[in-house]
């Protein structure tokens, strides 16, 4: 198991945001967290990514207890996160932004006298990452001049540049037009394969995307896990679907829509779409 | 001890002005010390002139108050100046108020020169009382009472009056208040002027007990900051508590070991920052 | 553009003693000192986004270290004095920095102001140790081991000491240039732009700010040692918060988002101050007005203006 939440509870005063959430993500998995607003999705991601400490319960990354370790420690441990609201460095160029991530990954953050400009290895890698995300045309442009969609790509690209084992994405396709959503998802999966990302966890609202790309869907409702199953199994359960989507749905795109599989650590085959998964 | 409370009363006035302006406009006004100094000098001149013109001596307090309040007239034009950089990074706002500090230093020097100004023994006109073994000028008690009254008045004003509620709402959430139709320009102008008035009145009231010197403005800033840090940025109650703490600390330090007078204050400031970073009563976020 | 300015400046400063009258040369000396101190301050402000209103603390620390070493311990080698000042700066900057970098923006400004004033009151009150408001003497140091006793004060200052100071400034600039262009410098800029994002990428905001604070302190102190020599005096007012304010003023004047802004700002400020002081005793008012104009209309300083001009004509 790469990332686990074990009976996590999070209370804000008397308000219970998470009420005993247990969830495990293994290598090779693409997990989507869904649920209506206020279900606790972002809180769960905050707890998983170390931004918030759980009130009770454990969070384990590769077996180590990481509850509340903080984004810096977790980023160095191999977990990266992209936020829902786009976060960029306004005055830094695309290239420089990626360079920050790569420098951090290589542990060179404190190098005082090393020349940055002459580091061929660094800038080659910057170019590579940029091209995977289609940003290579904008390497010298300051991030604040980029269109919103490219800013989002840059935000995600810099997270990927950390070569994390697990990446958490908070609504990666929000604010993006439908036509571009699939393009972004393809880029994400391709990038994950190229940069050794072993698992992707995303919070997503767009059900087409969710059902088209996920290996597993975790449905949250009022701070609890309503369902944790494969897309096909979930589809078969009208009750759960009604809660998540707010209406019954007749048809969702099958998982085959995704063109590339995630690299799996042990090489196990992906769960068969027809196998019913556990429902809680 | 009562000397400490007297100092605290004056400090409270200046700090309250700082807090008000910060709470509403998010500007930390380095020039609040300059208003204090202006109030002091102007107060001396006003009283000297009034006494010379035949004013009965006991009424000098009224003249002081009047002088302080009259100076608040510089509030609106100064606020217009600051308005030009409201949307900029707060470092620039801080620097603009520093520019004001520099300018006011020379304004004071221009009008009043470099020698200290004093009111002499005029304030002893109210006599002195024996309290707990020491002799305290009644004037100091009057100022302490005034400080307390103003504190209560501010509290009531913010809690009950219509404008006070607008001020609090704007301090909590600027955009929301604007969306609800509050005229920001007017609010800012009034709040800033009130802040100036608090500073100038504070300076005017302190003048009988001390001399007006060129440095008094820039010296006070550090204490005012200490008060604001201890009490919590943006909080009126914090200004009150902080002023009391700083005033009493200075008084006890002077009584016990004069060398460490300001050092004691700094120690408290640092301890508060370590133990409770947002101050004792923090409300607004810095 | 930046290279052109650097070259022009370098040539001008090298040639100055041959062309300018002696008085102007002695004015350049504090400019060099402030230039070094400001290079450090700009690492904090321009690069990392932290405005310190207490940088004068370290400048004073440097001057007093020079005073102590020359008068108290008989150390005259200026190289040793510089190293000593740097060490003292680090020792003081560690606890001060650890506390201050926990806060940002306004709180950081206030805290640094308070620490500066704390040092000032210490210097002022403990007069048996520090000489109180009279200050401490800084005796003429030996440059590169040369006592140069044969030269009178003015000859010393406008001759060997001038070039020594200029060399020190150039060295400081080179070092700072490396630092700003390093991965560390990039991380500092990232923290300035978006601390949360930087942390999400594994860059600790607090640690980097602390590092910047330490480096700035060292540069401030080295500048301070240079400052004490021409006047021969280290006095408490060096640590006063208005002195810190003037430092920031100089930075703004030159342009904080330019590498050489600090140096240009220091030189222009000193000369301007000299000029205006000779014209009116109300120079503070004039300077306040200049600062106000800068903040409102020319926030990017002189080099920023130059930038805009060259871009417009391009």
> In this predicted model, what pLDDT tens digit does every residue of C105-154 receive, in sequence order?
788 888 898 889 889 888 888 888 888 888 888 888 888 877 777 788 88
Q: Which residues of A touch C197 (CB under 8 A)?
A: 83, 87-89, 155, 158
- The DSSP output letter for A163 is -
Q: Is-contact A66 A60, C-beta < 8 A?
A: yes
Q: Which residues of A touch C200 (CB under 8 A)?
A: 71, 75, 80-83, 87, 159
Interchain proximity B102–C107, CB inside 8 Å: no
**What are the structural domain ranges in chain C?**
27-239
pLDDT band at C97 (very low <50, low <70, confident <90, very high): very high
Find which of A130-139, A222-231, A240-249, C206-215 is predicted with most confidence, using mean pLDDT.
Answer: C206-215
The count of other CB atoms within 10 Å of the CB of residue B53 is 7
The count of other CB atoms within 10 Å of the CB of residue C113 is 23
Interchain proximity C114–B90, CB inside 8 Å: no
Q: What does the pLDDT read at residue A279? A: 27
CA distances (Å), C227 to each of C115, C138, C157, C253, in order?
21, 10, 12, 20
Side-chain-side CA neighbours of A22 within 13 Å: the count stands at: 5
Considering chain B, what is the average pLDDT of its residues?
A: 81
Considering chain C, what is the average pLDDT of its residues?
A: 89
Q: Is-contact C200 A80, C-beta < 8 A?
A: yes
pLDDT band at A247 (very low <50, low <70, confident <90, very high): low
Instruction: Determine the average pLDDT of the residues in A246-266.
Output: 49
Q: Least CB-CB distance to A112: which of C184, C196, C198?
A: C184
C36 pLDDT higher than 80:
yes
A273 pLDDT higher than 50:
no
pLDDT band at C277 (very low <50, low <70, confident <90, very high): very high
B162 pLDDT higher than 50:
yes
CB-based touch A/B (3+ pairs, under 8 A): no
Q: Does A84 touch chain C (CB under 8 A)?
A: no
Find which of A257-261, B92-96, B203-207 is predicted with most confidence, using mean pLDDT.
Answer: B92-96
B57 pLDDT higher than 90:
no
Interchain proximity A101–C193, CB inside 8 Å: no
CA distances (Å), B126 to each of A12, B1, B64, in order?
57, 20, 15
pLDDT band at A246 (very low <50, low <70, confident <90, very high): low
Among A202, A279, A188, A266, smallest CA distance to A234 is for A279
A257 pLDDT higher than 50:
no
Q: Is-contact B92 B30, C-beta < 8 A?
A: no
Q: What does the pLDDT read at residue A271? A: 42
Dump pLDDT digits (tens) for A9-67.
888 888 888 888 888 888 888 999 888 877 788 888 888 888 888 888 888 888 888 87
Exposed (0-12), middle (13-18) or buried (19+): which is A11, by Cβ within 10 Å?
middle
| Spatial distance between the Cα atoms of C101 and B77, rounded to a whole number of angstroms | 36
Q: Does A144 touch chain C (CB under 8 A)?
A: no
In this prediction the pTM is 0.87
Dump pLDDT digits (tens) for A3-24.
888 888 888 888 888 888 888 8
Q: Is-contact C50 C44, C-beta < 8 A?
A: yes
Give the contacts of A11 (CB within 8 A, at least 6 positions apart): A17, A55
Interchain proximity C200–A96, CB inside 8 Å: no
- Closest approach of chain C CAs to the CA of B22, in angstroms? 11
Dump pLDDT digits (tens) for B236-253.
788 888 888 888 888 887
Exposed (0-12), middle (13-18) or buried (19+): which is C10, by Cβ within 10 Å?
middle
Which value does ipTM take for this structure?
0.89
Looking at chain B, the whole-number percentage of residues with pLDDT higher than 90 is 7
C212 pLDDT higher than 90:
yes
Instruction: Determine the average pLDDT of the residues in B56-69.
Output: 81
Q: What is the 3-state secondary structure (H, E, C) of chain B?
A: CHHHHHHHHHHHHHHHHHHHHHHHHCCCCCCHHHHHHHHHHHHHHHHHHHHHCCCCHHHHHHHHHHHHHHHHHHHHHHHHHHHCCCCCCHHHHHHHHHHHHHHHHHHHHHHHCCCCECCHHHHHHHCEEEECCEEEEHHHHHHHHHHHHHHHHHHHHHHHCHHHHHHHHHHHCHHHHHHCCCCHHHHHHHHHHHHHHHHHHHHHHHCCCCCECCCHHHHHHHHHHHHHHHHCCCCHHHHHHHHHHHHHHHHHHHHHCHHHHHHHHHHHHHHHHHHCCCCCCCCCCC
C270 pLDDT higher than 80:
yes
Provide the token pair at A208. 């087409």
Q: Which of A101-115, A158-172, C187-201 is least confident?
A: A101-115
CA distances (Å), A264 to each of A26, A133, B219, in order?
9, 22, 67
Q: Is-contact B23 B273, C-beta < 8 A?
A: no
| Spatial distance between the Cα atoms of B226 and B232, rounded to a whole number of angstroms | 10
| Spatial distance between the Cα atoms of B216 and B35, rounded to a whole number of angstroms | 10
Chain C interface mutation, best of A51, A89, A126, A129, highest count of C Cβ atoms under 10 Å: A89
Dump pLDDT digits (tens) for A76-91.
888 888 877 888 999 9
Q: What does the pLDDT read at residue A261? A: 52
DSSP state letters, A216-261: EEEEEETTEEEEEE-HHHHHH-HHHHHHHHSS--S----GGG--SP
Q: What does the pLDDT read at residue A268? A: 36
Q: Are strands A216-221 and A30-34 parallel, antiparallel or unpaired?
A: parallel
Considering chain A, what is the average pLDDT of its residues?
A: 79
């Amino acid at each position: 198991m790469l990332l686990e939440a074990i009976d996590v509870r999070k209370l804000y005063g008397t308000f219970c945001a998470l009420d005993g959430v247990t969830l495990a993500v293994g290598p090779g998995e693409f997990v989507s967290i869904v649920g209506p607003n206020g279900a606790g999705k972002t809180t769960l991601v905050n707890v998983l990514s170390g931004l918030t400490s759980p009130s009770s319960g454990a969070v384990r990354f590769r077996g180590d207890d990481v509850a509340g370790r903080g984004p810096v420690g977790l980023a160095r441990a191999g977990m990266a996160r992209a936020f829902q609201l786009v976060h960029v460095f306004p005055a830094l160029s695309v290239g420089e932004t990626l360079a920050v991530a790569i420098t951090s990954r290589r542990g060179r953050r404190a190098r005082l006298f090393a020349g940055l400009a002459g580091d061929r290895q660094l800038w080659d890698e910057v170019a590579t990452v940029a091209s995977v995300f289609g940003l290579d045309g904008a390497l010298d442009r300051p991030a604040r001049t980029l269109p919103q969609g490219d800013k989002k790509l840059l935000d995600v690209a810099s997270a990927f540049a950390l070569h994390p084992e697990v990446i958490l994405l908070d609504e990666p396709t929000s604010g993006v037009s439908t036509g571009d959503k699939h393009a972004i998802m393809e880029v994400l999966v391709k990038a994950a394969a190229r940069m050794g990302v072993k698992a992707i966890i995303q919070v997503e609202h767009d059900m087409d995307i969710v059902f088209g790309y996920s290996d597993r869907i975790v449905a949250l409702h009022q701070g609890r896990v309503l369902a944790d199953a494969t897309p096909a199994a979930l589809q078969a359960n009208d009750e759960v679907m009604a809660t998540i989507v707010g209406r019954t749905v007749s048809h969702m795109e099958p998982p085959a829509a995704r063109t590339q599989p995630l690299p799996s650590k042990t090489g196990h085959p992906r769960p068969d779409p027809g196998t019913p998964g556990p429902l809680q | 001890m009562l000397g400490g409370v007297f100092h605290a009363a004056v400090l409270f006035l200046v700090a309250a002005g700082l807090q008000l302006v910060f709470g509403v406009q998010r500007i930390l006004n380095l020039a609040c010390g300059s208003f204090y100094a202006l109030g002091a000098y102007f107060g001396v001149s006003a009283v000297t002139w009034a006494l010379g013109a035949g004013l009965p001596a006991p009424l000098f307090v009224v003249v002081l108050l009047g002088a302080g309040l009259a100076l608040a007239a510089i509030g609106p034009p100064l606020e217009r100046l600051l308005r030009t950089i409201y949307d900029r990074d707060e470092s620039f706002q801080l620097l603009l108020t520093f520019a004001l500090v520099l300018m006011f230093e020379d304004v004071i020097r221009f009008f009043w020169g470099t020698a200290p100004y004093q009111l002499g023994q005029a304030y002893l006109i109210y006599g002195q009382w024996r309290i707990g073994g020491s002799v305290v000028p009644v004037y100091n008690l009057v100022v302490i009472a005034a400080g307390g009254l103003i504190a209560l008045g501010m509290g009531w004003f913010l809690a009950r009056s219509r404008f006070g509620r607008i001020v609090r709402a704007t301090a909590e959430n600027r955009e929301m208040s604007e969306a609800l139709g509050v005229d920001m320009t007017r609010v800012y102008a009034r709040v800033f002027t009130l802040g100036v008035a608090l500073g100038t009145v504070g300076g005017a009231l302190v003048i009988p007990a001390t001399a007006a010197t060129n440095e008094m403005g820039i010296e006070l800033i550090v204490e005012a900051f200490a008060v604001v840090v201890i009490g919590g940025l943006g909080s009126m109650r914090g200004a009150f508590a902080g002023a009391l703490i700083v005033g009493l600390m200075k008084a006890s330090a002077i009584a016990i070991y004069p060398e460490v007078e300001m050092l004691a204050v700094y120690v408290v400031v640092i301890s508060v920052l370590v133990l409770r970073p947002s101050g004792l009563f923090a409300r607004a976020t810095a | 553009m930046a290279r052109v300015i650097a070259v022009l400046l370098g040539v001008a400063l090298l040639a100055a003693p041959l062309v300018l009258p002696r008085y102007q040369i002695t004015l350049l000396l504090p400019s060099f000192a402030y230039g070094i101190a400001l290079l450090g301050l700009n690492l904090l402000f321009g690069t990392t986004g932290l405005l310190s209103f207490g940088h004068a603390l370290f400048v004073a620390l440097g001057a007093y270290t020079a005073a102590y070493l020359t008068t108290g311990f008989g150390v005259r080698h200026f190289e040793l004095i510089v190293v000593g000042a740097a060490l003292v700066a680090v020792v003081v900057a560690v606890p001060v920095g650890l506390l201050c970098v926990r806060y940002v923006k306004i709180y950081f400004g206030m805290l640094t102001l308070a620490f500066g004033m704390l040092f000032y009151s210490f210097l002022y009150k403990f007069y048996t140790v520090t000489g109180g408001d009279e200050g401490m003497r800084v005796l003429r140091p030996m440059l590169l081991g040369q006592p140069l006793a044969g030269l009178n004060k003015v000859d010393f200052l406008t001759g060997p000491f001038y070039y020594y100071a200029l060399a020190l400034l150039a060295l400081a600039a080179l070092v700072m240039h490396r630092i700003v262009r390093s991965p560390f410098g990039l991380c500092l800029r990232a923290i300035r732009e978006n601390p949360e994002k930087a942390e999400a990428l594994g860059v600790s905001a607090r640690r980097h700010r602390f590092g910047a604070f330490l480096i700035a302190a060292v540069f401030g102190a080295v500048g301070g040692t240079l400052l004490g020599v021409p006047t021969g005096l280290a006095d408490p007012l060096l640590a006063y918060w208005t002195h810190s304010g003037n430092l920031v003023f100089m930075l703004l004047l030159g342009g904080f988002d330019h590498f050489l802004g600090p140096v240009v700002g220091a030189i222009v400020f000193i000369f301007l101050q000299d000029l205006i002081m000779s014209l009116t005793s109300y120079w503070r008012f004039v300077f306040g007005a200049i600062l106000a104009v800068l903040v409102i209309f020319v926030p990017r300083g002189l080099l920023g203006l130059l930038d805009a001009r060259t871009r417009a004509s391009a």
